[in-house]
Amino acid sequence: MIDGQMQPINFIDEPIFARILADAKLKPEAEPLPPARIGSGCLIATASYGSELAPQVQQLREIRDDVVLQTASGSAFMIGFNQFYYSFSPMIADYERENPIFREAVKLIITPLLTSLTLLQYVDIDSESDMLGYGIGVILLNIGMYFIAPAVLITKIRSFYKLQ
């Protein structure tokens, strides 16, 4: 401020700012994130069934490629799902390969999921709304099978033993 008047400052003329700008231009731009692994394998199922050619693994791949990825909403879901899935699945798959008992337990656990996903092979998904409807339906079915049914069963068993 000179004589009560604001004076414009040209930062480019200042040596320190010119140096900062020059350094910033020399740095390479950040690399973009790799694309979601849409074409990647199903690590947990492959380790459970011993091969990428196992019928169960092929079935998962076919559902993903021929049904889910055919819509924009399905593709968007797979991008988010893959980011989540591949954050932990390599560790589980490695442990499955080392421990046959764990591998059989995982196989038992994923069987209802595989069964519910087969429903997508038997419906016509011609639009985004169809994909959303069937996708949400399969997700809710799995929540019911994996969380609600066991919770109800445990509650019934506990109440049965409290009566005795």
* pLDDT tens sequence across 125-163: 888 999 999 999 999 999 999 999 999 999 999 999 988
pLDDT at 29 exceeding the cut of 90: no
From residue 153, give the alpha-carbon distance in Å to each of 66, 88, 105, 107, 116.
36, 29, 20, 22, 20
* pLDDT given at position 38: 45
Q: Per residue in 82-119, pLDDT tens?
A: 999 999 999 999 999 999 999 999 999 999 999 999 99
Q: Are 138 and 116 in contact (CB under 8 A)?
A: yes
Query: What span, in angstroms and rounded, lies between the C-alpha atoms of 80 and 65?
Result: 16
Contacts by 8-14, CB closer than 8 A, 24 or more apart: none
Q: What is the mean pLDDT of residues 72-81?
A: 94
What pTM, to 2 d.p., does this model score? 0.68
* pLDDT given at position 19: 72
Which residues have CB under 8 Å from 82's CB, separation 6+? 36, 37, 38, 40
Would residue 18 be called left, alpha or beta, if left means φ above 0 and alpha means ψ between -120 and 50 degrees? alpha
pLDDT at 30 exceeding the cut of 90: no
- Element holding 66 (H helix, E strand): helix 55-66
